[in-house]
Amino acid sequence: VDNRLHGIMKAIHEQCVTHGKNGDFVNYVNGANIAGFIKVADSMIDQGIV
């Protein structure tokens, strides 16, 4: 369980960094919001809603 949680948290961190980079600064709140939006949007597209 601990290893799985560690993997999930690492993936979340990587997504936040990827989407929250602003030059040398990482805005984790913006990164999390953008990553979450992309995940929901992709799901909606997969379901044929959009």
Please give the residue range of the domain that contains residue 36. Answer: 2-47
Task: Report the pLDDT value the prediction gives residue 33, as an integer from 0 to 100.
Answer: 98
Q: Which residue type occupies 29?
A: V
Task: Report the pLDDT value the prediction gives residue 50, as an integer from 0 to 100.
Answer: 79
Across 8-31, b (16+ Cβ under 10 Å) vs e yields: eeeeeeebbeebbeeeeeeeeeeb
Q: Are 26 and 32 in contact (CB under 8 A)?
A: no
Task: Report the pLDDT value the prediction gives residue 8, as an integer from 0 to 100.
Answer: 97
What are the pLDDT digits (tens) for 6-44?
999 999 999 999 999 999 999 999 999 999 999 999 999
Name the band, by pLDDT with cuts 50, 70 and 90, for residue 4: very high
The SS3 assignment for 28 reads: helix
Tally of domains in the chain? 1
